[in-house]
């Protein structure tokens, strides 16, 4: 499927996409749910969830920034991966995009946790193992997509 002329996906086409890309579809659904849930909680309650992430606004513009960067960008990422996978029929590319994002976030967090000495923060103790486990699952989906489903 290429371009906007073929962007309208009917049920039969969607079924074909999913059946031929099970691993990438599962990974994409997981990524989309993660990003959309993150977006909702940060847009609806930026101060509470910002505090859970050790991020606090100093004024109302800071509250807006939390909504934008944690909420808006998460929504955009989830929507982008869903459109790429299920409108344009490319769940494998969606998985690759999710892998790039998740690995970048994980390794940046891991590196700067040492530099910033953030190991004692409760969020860091939760985020590193959770993000690490998530990228392991994404890499497993990638390996299955390549080795079993011949995505490349």
pLDDT band, residue 5 (cuts 50/70/90): very low
Q: Is 99 helix (H, G, I), strand (E, B) or coil?
A: helix
In tens, the pLDDT along 16-37 reads 888 889 999 999 999 999 999 9
Q: What is the pLDDT of residue 14?
A: 85
Query: CA angle, corner 95, sides to 51 and 73, nearest 5?
Result: 35
Q: What is the pLDDT of residue 17?
A: 87
In tens, the pLDDT along 47-97 reads 999 998 889 999 999 999 999 999 999 999 999 999 999 999 999 999 999
User: 89 is written with which tokens?
Assistant: 């029929």
Return the domain boundaries, the chain: 10-147
With contact defined as beta carbons under 8 Å apart, do 78 and 103 qualify? no
pLDDT at 7 over 80: no
Q: How far apart are CA 120 and CA 142, in angstroms?
A: 33
Q: What is the pLDDT of residue 1?
A: 46
pLDDT at 126 over 60: yes
Q: How far apart are CA 99 and CA 137, in angstroms?
A: 10
Question: Which residue in 89, 100, 108 sits closest to 142, CA to CA?
Answer: 100
pTM for this predicted structure: 0.86
Query: CA angle, corner 2, sides to 89 and 22, nearest 5?
Result: 15
Mean pLDDT of the chain: 92
**Average pLDDT score over residue span 106-134:** 94
Residue 57, Ramachandran bin (φ over 0: left; ψ between -120 and 50: alpha; else beta)? beta
């Amino acid at each position: 499927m290429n371009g906007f002329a073929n962007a309208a996906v009917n049920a039969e086409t969607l079924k074909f996409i999913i059946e031929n890309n099970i691993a990438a579809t599962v990974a994409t659904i997981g990524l989309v749910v993660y990003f959309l849930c993150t977006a909702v909680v940060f847009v609806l309650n930026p101060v509470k969830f910002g505090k859970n992430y050790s991020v606090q606004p100093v004024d109302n513009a800071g509250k807006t920034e939390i909504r934008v960067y944690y909420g808006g960008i998460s929504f955009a990422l989830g929507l982008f991966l869903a459109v790429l996978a299920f409108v344009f029929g490319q769940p494998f590319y969606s998985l690759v995009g999710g892998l790039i994002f998740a690995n970048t976030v994980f390794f940046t967090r891991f590196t700067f946790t040492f530099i910033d000495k953030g190991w004692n923060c409760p969020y860091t103790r939760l985020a590193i193992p959770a993000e690490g486990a998530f990228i392991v699952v994404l890499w497993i989906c990638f390996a299955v997509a390549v080795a079993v489903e011949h995505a490349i």
